[in-house]
Every structure is written in structure tokens, then in C-alpha cells.
Amino acid sequence: MLKSQDIFILLKLVVMKSKTWSYPILSVELGISPSQIHAAVKRMLAAKLAIRQNDKIVPHFSNLEEFLIHGLKYVFWAEQGEMTRGMPTAYAAPPLSELLVSSAMEPPPVWPDPDGEVRGIAFRPLHKSAPQAARADKEFYQLLTLVDVIRSGRARERKMAIQKLSLRLGQYASDNKPKY
């Protein structure tokens, strides 16, 4: 059974492209124990969201894209809470915040974070360490926010996020092709 942290870890592998990774490296970058990452990788392989390629484990991009677009919002739906301080996500964060004008009446969705600089409606991230990991990796942050739009957005926002996500996954997949 997949856990939301599995998708969180898998999205990090996506932005790492063809870079070599290890369980301790991912542990430090994501704030998740190596044993939890190891268990997550086993679940990803079993779910066919990742594959072994030349002694490396890499995302299975077409399966991942299909799952993110069509299944994620039903399995790891968006849970919103009360007003809190945090880090903007979904439509309130890049890359969609640059394209959409948000209503001044509606507070933005934020991942709860004591170091956050924005007040908004609490939005439960795929993993509690999302704000810290996202601050350290802009590409990862943007991928997580696109996924959050798919989990929670209105039809127009979702369509835009799906287009951007598909484009990025295509780029990452072409960067990750084995070189012979």
C-alpha cells in the first residue's frame, strides 16, 4: 500500500534527474530516515512507479504521470485546516502564482511551517518535511506545488498544473534516458 511519503520521495528522484543518489543522501535532503526511504522505494517498485535501470532505481515516468494526474487526488486528497503561518503551495506558489491572480478575499493555501512568512489556510503536504526540503530545492518545490494543485485545485487550475507537470515530467524523462 502506497503512502504519501512515497510520492514525496519519488518526486525528489524525478528532480534529481540522472544524478546518483543514496539512501543517506535522500534522508538528509528530505528529512526522512533511510529505513523509511528504503521501504518507500520497495513500495514504488511494487506499484510500478519506479523501475530498476542499469543498477539504479529511477521513476517510471509514464506510470507516474498517469498516477499523478488520474489517481493522486483520490488516494492522497487535500486536507485543509485553519488559518496558520506557512509556506505557500498549490496555486499560491510558483509556477502557477505567476500565471493566476488570486483573490484578496481568499487566504492562500500554505504548508504549516513556523518559519513561513505567509498566513493562509493550512494545507497538509505529502510529507511534513515538505517546507524544509522545498526551501533547499526550487525545482522540487515547484513540482510539489503542481501536485498540490492536482490534489486540490479547481478545473482551470488543475488543467494548467497538469500541462506544466506533463511538460516537466517529459523533460526529466528525456534527461534520464540511459546513455550508451
| pLDDT exceeds 50 at position 180 | no
pLDDT at 147 (0 to 100)? 97
* Amino acid identity at 94: P
Could you tell me if 90 and 69 lie in one domain?
A: no
Query: Among residues 48, 73, 98, which one ends one of the domains?
Result: 73
Could you tell me if 87 and 46 lie in one domain?
A: no
Could you tell me if 68 and 90 lie in one domain?
A: no
Helices (H), 71-137: 72-75, 130-136
Backbone angles phi, psi at 122, to 5 degrees: -60, 135
**What's the pLDDT band for 101 if we cut at 50, 70, 90?**
low
The CATH number linked to 37 is: 1.10.10.10
Report the mean per-residue pLDDT for the chain. 93
Range with the poorest average pLDDT among 16-20, 49-53, 120-124: 16-20
Could you tell me if 64 and 14 lie in one domain?
A: yes
Quote the percentage of the chain above a pLDDT of 70.
Answer: 94
| pLDDT exceeds 90 at position 41 | yes
Other CB atoms within a 10 A radius of the CB of residue 81 amount to 11
124 three-state secondary structure: coil
| pLDDT exceeds 90 at position 100 | no
d(CA 155, CA 87): 23
Could you tell me if 102 and 166 lie in one domain?
A: yes
**Number of continuous H segments (helices) and E segments (strands) in the chain:** 8, 5
Could you tell me if 50 and 96 lie in one domain?
A: no
Nearest Cα neighbor of 108 from 17, 156, 117 is 117
Q: Using one digit for the tens of pLDDT, what is the confidence trace for 125-145?
A: 999 999 999 999 999 999 999
Query: Among residues 73, 100, 130, which one ends one of the domains?
Result: 73
